[in-house]
């Protein structure tokens, strides 16, 4: 069992150096777990750390899954086969630049549930989840012959709240469910963070990305008899839409900080060692002055790239770690093989309205609620109503729009709201208005709202998607048809037998054959504006020409001899084909009012 004494770690009575790296099993296809873990070991690390994403395991209330990419037990056992120890961070909140910080979206349909505190209903759901999780992995505790040596309680709680009753209750749930290993908390390096998030009698670790000697000072003062550990050594950083690619610190800087950890005899955990991918709609967002959603790639500027290749950070750190351990480096596993497949013609167009019956579920709702009310986790939601009356020139106003909305009145496109444009520091609101000419009779309103990722950190975490109200002038409008469009069963998308050119938004479909070896590749979305792309029914993620991500990673296990591509384009495409690249492409951020920049436009809906 892992213990501490006189400022050092001991495992089975022998001094233990905590050299760890983060890989999130839910960001890597299971077929590649062995490869990524082997490359972690080949860098000299002895331990792998992973968060646990609650929303992966309980996507629907009371329905749990631990299969496929959610098979955390298999991930831990794969690490064990390779001789690696494991640190597990079960949450229930994880941040991780992951949608809603790992919380399942269905929690937001309950107005009375308060997150991350001791509140009865929330604690009921938390305990149910944790017990199900520990049924899967508690027996893999090191004391039982497994390889789990430590678990984290909550996550950076000192940056959010100060509820010791909540933290103590979580610890009790862990222990009562059979978790025997060392427990710890991780927080920012300052006393305020560390003291707010600490659990009595348990190890504290600090999270930071530079200058270990200085940033360990508060931790050392508060915990003088315990080992110094950086729970998240930020060797890279995440990237948001409407910004440039962010690789974090350089290889030389990371190597320099790593040497400082070793000179201090401190433990460390590379965050991330291997970032992986925010497949589908799983990427989260931050919200301070502006709402900023994360891109699909979680490459993170990590030592191992999104597609499992080596970097200068990897090579420099590998040399330092093996030297510190005093052992010869093991042979490097093979680099990944990638290729650029031939361009694919998109031979079919399906209009958004034509597709609705096959990709959406209809709800009748007097009030236009957010998508969580209807049991929808992610994707798009369409609000439609018709009402009669006599009005002069008026404004239609849409309230609490999260995150991007397109508005049509009597079939005429009226404009787009983009939450990223809201400046909260200047009092901006998630509200959008369009002008409507006076009428005497019936008017039809359609609003398509895209969820761009729930806030995963801070006070704005209650981030419901869709909208909460529509009014004409000062009158609220009631009586809506609501279509939830999660796009989680794209294989049901209708066919377009007539091949008539469709108006935007629309779906494109094409197919291609692979002869010979199937390899990883990157689909190139530079001819498209905004939407999401699927390969053989698997959602690769959101694209947006405002950047910076231009290509999207396709792991080889998603491909087969005969393949189908589906693209949902919300605004405009400039091509009827899609290509592939051997390596990823990142472009510079192109603001909507900058040059060169295509102007968005829509054809009138039929």
Note whether 267 and 20 are within 8 A (CB). yes
Burial class (CB in 10 A: 0-12, 13-18, 19+), 374: middle
Note whether 350 and 509 are within 8 A (CB). yes
Catalytic residue selected from 154, 156, 450, 569: 156
Q: Identify the CA nearest to 598 among candidates 544, 541, 519, 533.
A: 544
CA 94 → CA 50, 54, 187, 279, 465, distances in Å?
10, 9, 12, 17, 20
Angle ∠(404,409,415) on CA atoms, nearest 5: 35
3-state secondary structure of 85: strand
156 is catalytic: yes
Note whether 518 and 209 are within 8 A (CB). no
Burial class (CB in 10 A: 0-12, 13-18, 19+), 437: exposed
Note whether 574 and 343 are within 8 A (CB). no
> What is the rounded CA–CA span in Å between residue 542 and residue 526?
13
Note whether 100 and 110 are within 8 A (CB). no
Secondary structure (DSSP) of 318-377: HHHHHHHHTSPPPPPPPPPPB--PPPEE--EEEEHHHHHHHH-EEEEESS---GGGGT--
Note whether 181 and 145 are within 8 A (CB). no
Residue 434 CB contacts under 8 Å (≥ 6 apart), including other chains: 395, 396, 407, 409, 414, 415
Question: Do you know the residue count of the chain?
Answer: 606
Note whether 483 and 361 are within 8 A (CB). yes
Instruction: Specify the pairing of strand 85-89 against strand 148-152.
Output: parallel
User: To which H or E segment does residue 54 belong?
Assistant: helix 54-57
Sign of the CA dihedral with 390 first, then 394, 400, and 403 last: positive
Catalytic residue selected from 58, 97, 154, 232: 232
Q: Which residues are catalytic?
A: 156, 232
């Amino acid at each position: 069992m892992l213990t501490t004494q006189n400022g050092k770690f001991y495992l089975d009575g022998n001094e233990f150096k905590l050299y760890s790296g983060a890989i999130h099993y839910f960001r890597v296809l299971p077929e590649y777990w062995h490869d990524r873990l082997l490359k972690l070991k080949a860098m000299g690390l002895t331990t792998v750390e992973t968060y646990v994403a609650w929303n992966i395991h309980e996507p629907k209330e009371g329905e749990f899954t631990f299969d496929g990419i959610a098979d955390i037990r298999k991930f831990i056992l794969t690490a064990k086969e390779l001789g690696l120890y494991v640190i597990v961070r079960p949450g229930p909140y994880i941040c991780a630049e992951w949608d809603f910080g790992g919380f399942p979206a269905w929690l937001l349909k309950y107005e009375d549930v308060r997150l991350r505190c001791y509140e009865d209903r929330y604690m009921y759901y938390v305990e149910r989840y944790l017990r199900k999780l520990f049924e899967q992995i508690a027996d893999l505790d090191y004391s039982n012959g497994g390889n789990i040596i430590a678990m984290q309680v909550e996550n950076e709680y000192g940056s959010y709240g100060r509820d010791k009753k909540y933290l103590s209750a979580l610890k009790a749930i862990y222990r009562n469910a059979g978790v025997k290993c060392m427990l710890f908390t991780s927080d920012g390096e300052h006393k305020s963070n560390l003291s707010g998030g600490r659990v009595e009698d348990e190890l504290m670790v600090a999270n930071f990305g530079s200058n270990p000697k200085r940033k360990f000072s508060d931790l050392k003062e508060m915990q003088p008899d315990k080992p110094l550990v950086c729970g998240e050594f930020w060797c890279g950083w995440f990237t948001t839409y409407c910004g440039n690619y962010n690789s974090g610190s350089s290889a030389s800087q990371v190597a320099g900080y790593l040497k400082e950890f070793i000179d201090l005899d401190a433990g460390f955990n590379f965050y991330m060692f291997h970032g992986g991918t925010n497949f589908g709609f799983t990427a989260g967002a931050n919200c301070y002055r502006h709402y900023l959603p994360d891109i699909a790639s979680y490459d993170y500027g990590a030592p191992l790239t999104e597609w499992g290749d080596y970097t200068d950070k990897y090579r420099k750190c590998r040399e330092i770690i093996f030297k510190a351990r005093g052992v010869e480096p093991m042979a490097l596993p093979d680099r990944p093989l990638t290729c650029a497949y031939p361009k694919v013609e998109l031979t079919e167009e399906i209009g958004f309205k034509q597709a609705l019956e096959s990709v959406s579920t209809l709800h009748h709702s007097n009030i236009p609620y957010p998508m969580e009310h209807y049991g929808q986790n992610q994707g798009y939601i369409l609000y439609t109503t018709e009402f009669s009356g006599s009005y002069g020139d008026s404004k239609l106003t849409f309230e609490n729009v999260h995150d991007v909305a397109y508005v049509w009145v009597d079939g005429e496109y009226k404009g787009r709201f983009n939450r990223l444009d809201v400046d909260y520091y200047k009092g901006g609101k998630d509200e959008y208005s369009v002008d409507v000419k006076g009428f005497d009779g019936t008017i039809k309103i359609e609003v398509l709202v895209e969820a761009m990722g729930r806030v995963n950190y801070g006070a704005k975490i209650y981030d419901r998607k869709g909208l909460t109200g529509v009014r004409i002038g000062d009158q609220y409008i009631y009586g809506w048809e609501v279509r939830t469009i999660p796009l989680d069963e794209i294989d049901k998308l209708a066919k377009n037998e007539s091949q008539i050119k469709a108006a935007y938004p629309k779906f494109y479909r094409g197919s291609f054959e692979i002869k010979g070896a199937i390899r990883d590749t990157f689909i190139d979305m530079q001819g498209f504006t905004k939407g999401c792309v699927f390969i053989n029914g698997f959602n690769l993620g959101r694209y947006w020409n405002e950047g910076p991500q231009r290509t999207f990673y396709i792991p080889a296990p998603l491909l087969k001899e005969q393949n189908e591509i589906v693209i949902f384009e919300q605004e405009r495409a400039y091509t009827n084909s899609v290509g592939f690249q051997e390596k990823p492409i990142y472009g510079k951020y192109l603001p909507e009012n900058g040059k060169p920049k295509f102007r968005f436009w829509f054809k009138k809906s039929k």
